[in-house]
Structure 1
Amino acid sequence: MLVIITDEHLLSPSQVCQSCLLADRTGQPRWDRGKLGCGYALQQLSRELPPQYQCCMGFRLVNIESSS
């Protein structure tokens, strides 16, 4: 599950990306095969945390995979 993180909140990409010109046709970030097409990967500080990405609008995104 792809989420946008801020200092105090976790947001759904549908709350933010709907107004982005770089979003796909459904208003979601361009996420394909583990890469953010509308941003870039940030330096990973710990292997224990999931990789973070920053979109062109300045938001940080994280792909949180559920372990079922």
Structure 2
Amino acid sequence: MLVILMDNQLISPQTVCETCLMADQSGKPRWQSGQLRCGHAIRKAAEQQPDQFECQMGFRVADIK
């Protein structure tokens, strides 16, 4: 499940991505094969952290399993 991290909040990507020009046709992040295609990976601080990415708009996206 993808979430957007903001301060101490988890936000659904649909609330942010639906107005983004980089989103897919359904207003969701461009997610394919475990990678955010509209952003880049961020190095983990600890192994137990979820995979994190920074989108082109500057939001931090996490893949919580």
- Shorter-chain TM range is over 0.9
Whole-angstrom distance in 2 between the partners of 1:50 and 1:8: 16
How many percent identity over aligned positions? 48
Q: CA deviation at 1:30?
A: 0.2
Larger Rg: 1
| TM-score (ref. length: structure 1) | 0.92
Residue 8 (structure 1) shift: 2.1
1:62 aligned onto 2:62: yes
TM-score (norm 2): 0.96
Runs (5+) with no aligned partner, structure 2: none
Root-mean-square deviation (CA, aligned residues, Å) is 0.6
Cα distance in 1 for residues equivalent to 2:47 and 2:3: 19
Aligned residues between the structures: 65
Is the aligned partner of 1:45 residue 2:45? yes
Q: Which runs of 5+ in 1 are unaligned?
A: none
* 1:16-31 alignment, distance < 5 Å: 16-31=16-31
